[in-house]
Amino acid sequence: MSIPALSAHELMALMNAGKASKEEIAAAYFERARGLNSKTHAFLRLEAAPEFPAATSVTLPLPIAMKDNICVKNRLTTCASKILDGFRPPYDACVVEKIKASGGVIIGSANMDEFAFGSSTETSSYGITRNPWDLERVPGGSSGGSATAVAAGQAVWALGSDTGGSIRQPAAFCGIVGMKPTYGRVSRYGLIAFGSSLDQIGPLTQDVTDCAMLLNIIAGYDRRDSTSVDKPVPDYTQALVRDVKGLRIGIPKEYFIDGMQPAVEKSVREAIEVLKKQGAVVKELSLPHTEYAVATYYIVATAEASSNLARFDGVQYGLRVVPDKTRKSPLVDMYEATREQGFGDEAKRRIMLGTYVLSSGYYDAYYLRAQKVRTLIKRDFEQAFGEVDVILSPTAPTTAFKVGEKLADPLAMYLSDIFTIPANLAGIPALSLPCGFDDNHLPVGLQLMARPFDEETLLRVAFSYEQATAWYLRRAVL
């Protein structure tokens, strides 16, 4: 089997046995990434050649894809938006520091929906990314480039960000593992913000073991991030045991809805039976405020996006457009021309929505009310976790849809995240892993959710299920 088909832990075993060097592995991935990128467009920018950092403690010297909203010192970081054209951060994000300290090499900047606004990686200002299982379909979003890079063997693993499902949904569409850790478990320092109370960086990997290994590197307290939580970080690989006997798994009735693709429900129901046979105790439960999650999210998230994106005005960094004629004043005209040309349609839509819900006369009716509903959604999970250890659901209601299929219908696009959004609103950890395929040979994702900072139980259940099936062994062929 070729090097790019192997998982991170398999590659580490090869290196430890002296059968491959980190240089050989990196060269194989760099070559494959360059060779396939014209087909997948997983990367916006690829590094010219492997450059291994001066690591303080070399533990995992493997190539990684970095989503284009995670700052890498002196390297272009644009959030797939023209408004950040030419922006080179003067510092590394916390997670980048940790990757470099482990000996990892960044293979390139992965494509994404502009500013993470999307569920298909079609809103990128620099072209769409395609699903390696079917190049006529989307890879999901907004971390679609990161997911595609892993699924296509263009990177060993990747980092993405998840604001409403942007790691888990593309992981499901691309047949890999993706985790959104608990809010505060991984530092957001150096992540260009979308929704500051929702964003979380997390791993996209070939299997659950790789997910635990990468989480070990990036998790932990960071004083530079005011939302980072100072809690001890366990060795997540110790949770990888095939034992779910007696664990209580809840099945929320609100997550099995009319309109769900039959193949998705079938695969998830079969996954439930696998866990039952392993000794898990399965019970149905209710999360009654789930129906309000999408509306709540698109008020809270757009309000925070509007505030966060106000800083991009052509003054300090990125794009600056100087209009030919002055209508109001040179400064105001420069602001307007820069933001008009710099932001894409979806970014403008979310800025306008967010500005509206925060405006005088509408704040109480929309934003304040949405925050109250968010509290109710969080309480639903707190009550549920009084009865169960893990909550299980589909990751998305369908498998990957065709390029362009939902681009003209924002509401249909937003509903792609209907099952992933609640975990972000509640701040809990959630993971997607493959659990089957539909009639078009497209992957189906299984979502698991756990109590805050209980990533260990999440990984334990995921690993037990994964090892009892063979879905994770299937690879996209390009």
Question: What pLDDT is recorded for position 2?
Answer: 85
Q: Which residues pair with 432 in a beta bridge?
A: 178, 447
Mean pLDDT value across residues 121-150: 98
User: Is 166 part of the annotated catalytic residue set?
Assistant: yes
Strands (E) in 301-415, as ranges, are 390-394
Q: Please report how many Cα atoms fall inside a 13 Å half-sphere around the Cα of residue 262, on the Cβ side.
A: 2
Question: What pLDDT is recorded for position 325?
Answer: 78
- pLDDT tens-digit profile of 289-308? 999 999 999 999 999 999 99
Mean pLDDT (the chain) is 96
- Rounded to whole angstroms, the Cα distance separating 437 from 112 reads 24
Domain residue extents for the chain: 1-478
- Rounded to whole angstroms, the Cα distance separating 13 from 42 reads 27
- pLDDT tens-digit profile of 64-112? 999 999 999 999 999 999 999 999 999 999 999 999 999 999 999 999 9
Which pair of tokens denotes residue 1? 């089997």
Q: What is the amino acid identity at position 24? A: E
Mean pLDDT value across residues 313-342: 90
Mean pLDDT value across residues 51-71: 89
pLDDT at 52 over 90: no
Question: What pLDDT is recorded for position 328?
Answer: 79
| Residue 437 CB-density burial (10 A; 0-12 exposed, 13-18 middle, 19+ buried) | middle
Question: What pLDDT is recorded for position 415?
Answer: 86
- pLDDT tens-digit profile of 362-415? 999 999 999 999 999 999 999 999 999 999 999 999 999 999 999 888 888 988
Mean pLDDT value across residues 168-180: 98
User: Is 67 part of the annotated catalytic residue set?
Assistant: yes
Strands (E) in 181-246, as ranges, are 200-205
Q: In terms of pLDDT, which residue wins out, 51 or 172? A: 172
Topology adopted by domain 1-478: Amidase signature (AS) enzymes (3.90.1300)
Q: Spot the catalytic one: 7, 22, 67, 143.
A: 67
- pLDDT tens-digit profile of 202-230? 999 999 999 999 999 999 999 999 999 99
Q: Spot the catalytic one: 119, 146, 166, 416.
A: 166
- pLDDT tens-digit profile of 238-277? 999 999 999 999 999 999 988 899 999 999 999 999 999 9
- Rounded to whole angstroms, the Cα distance separating 321 from 134 reads 39
pLDDT at 180 over 60: yes
- pLDDT confidence of 1, banded at 50, 70, 90? low
- pLDDT confidence of 338, banded at 50, 70, 90? very high
Entry field: residues in the chain: 478
Q: In terms of pLDDT, which residue wins out, 120 or 48? A: 120
Cis, bond preceding 306 (omega within 30 deg of 0): no
Helices and strands counted in the chain (H then E): 14, 11
Which pair of tokens denotes residue 24? 């050989």
Q: Spot the catalytic one: 81, 102, 142, 161.
A: 142
Work out whether strand 157-162 and strand 200-205 pair parallel, antiparallel, or are unpaired.
antiparallel
Percent above pLDDT 70 for the chain: 100
